[in-house]
Amino acid sequence: MHVVQKDFNYNPEKMKSIFDNSTRADLIGRINTLDENSTSKWGKMNIYQMLKHCTVYEEMMLGKTRYKRAFIGRLFGRMALKEFIQDRPIRQNVPTLPELKVKINHGDVLAERKKWIALLEEYPNAPCTDIEHSFFGKLTRAQVGILVYKHTDHHLRQFNS
């Protein structure tokens, strides 16, 4: 059982989560503003790469794809998780896990956007009880909900949405 420290800014009941219907609807509305002309404020990904990155991430967080736990994640993953689930946005230019990097520069932006939305819409019915993040390790359902919200928000802010 994980014990939450008093100075640790983590209260899953007060934090936004992908499992909340209105939060998910807001994110999907923001995703629908993205198109082929969307450009990033920071980072190296173009719009297609970001959308593809997010669909690959959702497949991991829904348990559809599993990746081997990174050695560095075994050392620092739990400590980093505490930072990532605090009640503040993910900072800019956080390194991307190698398995979530998209090397293809172009593709069907609208189809990838549609796929991302469909994956986000699966969360209300997904158990998300046996999820192992390749860096953070085993996650609770509440942690999945918070991380998915924050990851989605991070990339939408990256692309001005």
From 111, 93, 131, select the one nearest 52 (Cα to Cα): 111
pLDDT tens by residue, the chain, 161 residues:
343 433 445 566 679 999 999 999 999 999 999 999 999 999 999 999 999 999 999 999 999 999 998 888 889 999 999 989 998 999 999 989 999 999 999 999 999 999 999 999 999 999 988 899 999 999 999 999 999 999 999 999 999 99
Q: Which two tokens stand for residue 12?
A: 């899953």
Residue 111 within any structural domain of the chain: yes
The span from the CA of 58 to the CA of 63, in Å, is 8
What Rg value do the Cα atoms of the chain yield, rounded?
Answer: 15
Residue 10 within any structural domain of the chain: no
Residue 32 within any structural domain of the chain: yes
DSSP at 137: E
What is the number of structural domains in the chain?
A: 1
Residue 119 within any structural domain of the chain: yes
From 18, 13, 161, 157, select the one nearest 89 (Cα to Cα): 157
49, 104 Cβ separation under 8 angstroms: yes
State pTM to two decimals.
Answer: 0.90
The range of the structural domain enclosing residue 105 comes to 21-158
